[in-house]
Structure 1
Amino acid sequence: MTVEFADIRTERLLLRRLAEADRETVVRIQTDPRTNAHNPDPPDAEHTNRKFDLWLRDWRIDGFCYLPVVELASRQVIGIGGLQLRRFGGEDVLNLYYRFLPEAWGKGYATEMSLAMIDWADRVLPRYPVQISVSVGNQPSLNVAKRLGFRTHLETIHDGALTRHFRRD
């Protein structure tokens, strides 16, 4: 399955295809200790580079994956997020992910990006449920899931942490 992804503009953000030129910024975001406060096994640069390669592969194969979140006002990449097709509990789901530079926290960017991606998924890939997986200690991300109207689907141990998996009703 390959879909065509066109850039998405929201009021304050540009969501665009991931490119090799984004690697350094994505590694910085993903490895920043502040963005991993709730991660029992924070990724290092080597791990993040492998993930980045997999995300580029998913873009080539599926036509979508995680993407850079660009603040329109500054034209800077302030986060990484979006949807990735993943296997979870025996079914294919669209994993909704977001991680932002600490300077971008508390401004509603995760919610804004998420709403745009959920809308895109509803139009382009409606057969897959959208799921958000959050460490139960990560209150800000739990709040985003709640604001988006997601409800607890399941709790598991995931990547070494008690994790709540959310879906929409």
Structure 2
Amino acid sequence: MSVEWRDIRTQRLLLRPLRPDDRDDVVAIQTDPRTNRHDPAPPTPAKAEVKLTAWLEHWTAHGFGYLAVVPLDSGEVVGVGGLQHVEFGGTPLLNLYYRLRPAVWGRGYATEMASAVVEWAERELPDFPVQISVNITNEASLRVAERLGFTACAEGFYDGALSRHFRRPRRPGRPG
């Protein structure tokens, strides 16, 4: 299933498709040791490039995916975030992901970006639940999931770490 994407502008952010020329920013964000504190197997630059290639392929196949997170006041790529199709426990769903440069932590960008893309998904892809998987030691991301109104639905090992999986409850009148 493919959808037609239109950039999202929030109060402070532009959320636009990742592009091949974002490679340097994506690799820097993905491989920064501070952004990988809760990752038991941090990506190397080569693995980060492979991830970016896969993310770009998702865009081609589905018309949406992980985004460049760009503050309107700076125009710089400060993060990657968004949604992708995944299967979890046999259920097709949308994985909510984000990773931001440490220089912008604490500004609420993760919650602002995630709220906007979840709202988009509920409107454009209502048949797919949105899930976020968080390492249980990542308190900041656990708080983001709570602020977004997600509820815990499972806990187990995921990507090499004990993780808590959250889903957004369906709004009345929505499928699922």
Q: Is 2:45 aligned against 1:45?
A: yes
Deviation by residue 1:41-60 (Cα, 9 ceiling, x = unmatched): 11111111111110010000
Aligned residue runs from structure 1 range 63-82, under 5 A: 63-82=63-82
Task: Tell me how far apart the structure 2 counterparts of residues 127 and 158 of structure 1 sit (CA, whole Å).
Answer: 24
Deviation by residue 1:66-85 (Cα, 9 ceiling, x = unmatched): 01000100111110000011
Give the superposed CA RMSD: 0.6
Aligned pair count reads: 169
Task: Tell me how far apart the structure 2 counterparts of residues 20 and 163 of structure 1 sit (CA, whole Å).
Answer: 31
User: Partner of 1:29 in structure 2?
Assistant: 29
**Shift of the alpha carbon at 1:29?**
0.1
**Shift of the alpha carbon at 1:135?**
0.1
Question: Counterpart of 2:39 in 1: which secondary structure?
Answer: coil
Task: Tell me how far apart the structure 2 counterparts of residues 160 and 113 of structure 1 sit (CA, whole Å).
Answer: 26
Task: Tell me how far apart the structure 1 counterparts of residues 121 and 159 of structure 2 sit (CA, whole Å).
Answer: 26
Amino acid at match of 1:24: D
> Matched residues, percent identical?
57
Residue segments in structure 2 that go unaligned for 5+ positions in a row: 170-176
TM-score for both structures, normalised by structure 2: 0.95
Task: Tell me how far apart the structure 1 counterparts of residues 22 and 158 of structure 2 sit (CA, whole Å).
Answer: 27
TM-score for both structures, normalised by structure 1: 0.99
Amino acid at match of 2:131: Q
**Shift of the alpha carbon at 1:159?**
1.4
Aligned residue runs from structure 1 range 1-169, under 5 A: 1-169=1-169
**Shift of the alpha carbon at 1:130?**
0.2
Question: Counterpart of 2:83 in 1: which secondary structure?
Answer: strand
